[in-house]
Amino acid sequence: MNFKPYTILELFDSSQKSFIIPVYQRAYSWEKEHWEAFLNDLKEQIEGGNNYFYGNLLLETIKKGVQYEIIDGQQRITTLTIFFRALLNVLKKRAKEQELTDFDYEGKERIFLKNNGNIKLRPVEYDRACYDAIIIDDKANFETNTPSQQRIKKAKAHFIEELEKLSTPIILKILEKIEGTELTVIELSGKKDSALMFELENNRGKDLTNMEKLKSYFMYQMYVYSIPEETESNIENVSNIFKNIYLTINDLKKLNEDSILIYHNNAYIKGYNYRTLDDIKEVFKKADDKVLWIKNYISELYTSFANMKKFETANSFYAHKLAELNAPAFVYPFILKGYKYLGDDIEKLNTLFKVLEILTFRARLINSRANIQERLNAILLNFQGNLSKLINDIKSKLNETWYWSDTNVKNYLNGSLYGNKVLNYLLWQYENSIQNKGYSIKKYTLHNEQIEHISPQTPPNGEALETGYEVNDNNEYSDDFVAKYLNCIGNLMLISGSHNASIGNQPFHKKLSTYNNNPLLNQQAEIKEFVSSESEEVKTWKSSSIQNRHDKIVSFALTRWSFDSIKIKEVIG
């Protein structure tokens, strides 16, 4: 282990030296607030006479004087190289200014960015093409595919924008200050020293993700508990597993790494009672064979990340429905356990997703302050792939606790649903159920989707309601009508914003005409089936019309989101 002070210029000024960010490390994560703090610090430093200290840099020596892996400090070093590119670009545009007559652009690029074929910094593998294009080759455009690639592109643009506001003498002072900035480089040999030092650094409260903290903790524990001749290989094993995890993270589109870590620990550590990394450490410390425990845990963790990637790309009807419902956090631990115990059995997985879709619908419909996770915790911990038992357990628990019971679901469906979180989703599922055979609208969307009150809400500007609706002698809805019918689902319908705006507070017969002319949604076309006909010419929309339509939709919903709708053959395959 070697501690040595360097300036930034001394760190980079070698034709052969390069720094690699290993793939098990976090990719570039600094955002605008960090870039602003970085540049503001430099502006302040050039006003004073003190030296600027850039902290510690932990390196693992791959080849002395030539190649190093960055164990800690990758965010700062990456930001430096991006900043150098931005600074050189701004100065190149001002090349004719007197202060830049003897400025050596190519020399600075060779020192900080690329010396012939030697690129000074190599980011994580999946971001290298982007970094090389935008920073090393200084291309204006690159099709970014990851959040870290987008940050690299935005960081360069941000620094260019801010530096262009400064005078050339100020920029040159900033460059001089950076080159003379001091940092302490700690050179480590082998994964054993890296694990020890990284864990010691992390204990100082550095801003790391939970995944990074867990990785360094496990690497250090391998150092502590491994037999001497296996220490290096065991630490390497942790490093390699996390490398695979981070490669998988790069492919995930919806969930971040710490969320999946939480779901994994919900599934296998303490259920929904899992709170922090200390819960993992508590279980780990009780293990008889701690090395084996770590190996098993990180192997399962990698499997969970891989399975979440499978779920995101699953071509499953109910997986898509869960996405449409914006599945809450409590369903994901069930999904992880489902993949573990059901494997790649598509039918059984789709059945699991259907169970979770019903559960999610009920939870969204009944927005209770009661904690549904507490009711499901024991069920989650006991679930090992028995779908029949899972269905019975969930159904029994929800009915036992009332809030999400069959009876309360019916109560909510029969109440006022306007403004409910699942109203649009419910009406789309109803629409699919009444579409003509062989015709699906599952990929169709309404432009500026809205909810239409067929019997219109009371006009806000005081104008009278139009004809064709159930009003009293004062042309007003009765209190009973408002309470029971105005906002119930029988009076609500999906509609585009433009269609809704075009009909507004119109007489019912005109509304009905626009519904009948709609070429797509059957829920609009079928309104004619519920109207009251006082004569061949007079069509009205009354409480009886609303009630009949309401009963039909509620009947559909009670069947669609009933656990009894899951046929036993779906469960046992």
Nearest to 19 by CA among 183, 205, 172, 156: 183
- Tell whether the model's pLDDT for residue 312 goes beyond 50: yes
Please report the pLDDT score of residue 204 as a whole number: 45
Nearest to 173 by CA among 45, 13, 37, 10: 45
Enter the tokens of residue 33: 């607030």
Which residues are CB-neighbours of 278 under 8 A, at least 6 positions away? none
Looking at mean pLDDT, say which of 404-408, 498-502, 521-525 comes out highest.
404-408
Please report the pLDDT score of residue 190 as a whole number: 65
Side-by-side strand order, sheet with 182-188: 2-7, 182-188, 53-63, 67-72, 18-20, 121-122
H or E stretch covering 492? strand 492-495
Cα separation, 294 vs 283, whole angstroms: 11
Cα separation, 556 vs 429, whole angstroms: 9
| Better pLDDT: 262 or 184 | 262
**Residue matched to tokens 């098993």:** 296
Please report the pLDDT score of residue 271 as a whole number: 96
pLDDT-derived band at 296 (thresholds 50, 70, 90) equals: very high
Please report the pLDDT score of residue 544 as a whole number: 95
pTM of the entire predicted model: 0.79
Question: Averaged over 223-246, what is the pLDDT?
Answer: 88
Backbone angles phi, psi at 3, to 5 degrees: -105, 125
pLDDT-derived band at 412 (thresholds 50, 70, 90) equals: very high
Which residues are CB-neighbours of 213 under 8 A, at least 6 positions away? 202, 277
* DSSP code of residue 384: S
Please report the pLDDT score of residue 60 as a whole number: 86
H or E stretch covering 495? strand 492-495
- Tell whether the model's pLDDT for residue 450 goes beyond 50: yes
Compute the Cα dihedral for 514, 519, 523, 527 and give only its sign.
positive
Nearest to 304 by CA among 275, 330, 268: 268
pLDDT-derived band at 47 (thresholds 50, 70, 90) equals: confident
Predicted confidence (pLDDT) per residue in 160-201, tens digit: 999 999 999 999 999 999 999 988 888 877 665 666 555 555
Question: Averaged over 523-529, what is the pLDDT?
Answer: 90
Extended strands (E) in 24-98: 53-63, 67-72
Task: Kindly give the interhelix angle for 290-312 and 277-285, rounded to the nearest 10 degrees.
Answer: 140
| Better pLDDT: 97 or 206 | 97
* Helix/strand/coil (H/E/C) assignment for every residue in 102-151: CCCHHHHHHHHCEECCEECEECCHHHHHHHHHHHHCCCCCCCCCCHHHHH
Enter the tokens of residue 103: 């400025």
Cα separation, 5 vs 11, whole angstroms: 9
| Better pLDDT: 16 or 194 | 16
Could you give the C-alpha distances from 432 to 435, 444, 518, in angstroms and in order? 5, 11, 16
Cα separation, 105 vs 91, whole angstroms: 8
pLDDT-derived band at 572 (thresholds 50, 70, 90) equals: very low
Cα separation, 266 vs 263, whole angstroms: 5
Q: What does 170-183 look like in DSSP terms, one character per residue?
A: HHHHHHHHHHH-EE
Please report the pLDDT score of residue 54 as a whole number: 82
Please give the share of the chain, as a percent, with pLDDT higher than 90.
61
CA 313-319-320 angle, 5° bins:
85
Cα separation, 537 vs 48, whole angstroms: 88
- Tell whether the model's pLDDT for residue 53 goes beyond 80: no
Question: Averaged over 23-45, what is the pLDDT?
Answer: 88
Cα separation, 135 vs 75, whole angstroms: 15
Mean pLDDT of all residues belonging to the chain: 89
Q: Is 342 helix (H, G, I), strand (E, B) or coil?
A: helix
Please report the pLDDT score of residue 194 as a whole number: 60
- Helices and strands in the chain, H and E counts: 26, 12
Backbone angles phi, psi at 514, to 5 degrees: -70, -35
Enter the tokens of residue 401: 């606790």
pLDDT-derived band at 463 (thresholds 50, 70, 90) equals: confident
Cα separation, 83 vs 88, whole angstroms: 9
Cα separation, 183 vs 5, whole angstroms: 6
Backbone angles phi, psi at 19, to 5 degrees: -120, 135
Please report the pLDDT score of residue 206 as a whole number: 46
Cα separation, 23 vs 241, whole angstroms: 11
Predicted confidence (pLDDT) per residue in 120-164, tens digit: 999 988 899 999 999 999 998 898 888 889 999 999 999 999 999
Cα separation, 163 vs 42, whole angstroms: 12
pLDDT-derived band at 307 (thresholds 50, 70, 90) equals: very high
Q: Where is average pLDDT lowest: 45-59, 268-282, 317-331, 354-368?
A: 45-59
Question: Averaged over 297-314, what is the pLDDT?
Answer: 96
| Better pLDDT: 49 or 282 | 282
Could you give the C-alpha distances from 382 to 79, 225, 286, 554, in angstroms and in order? 47, 31, 21, 33
Cα separation, 183 vs 187, whole angstroms: 13
**Are the C-beta atoms of residues 464 and 522 closer than 8 Å to each other?**
no
| Better pLDDT: 497 or 355 | 355
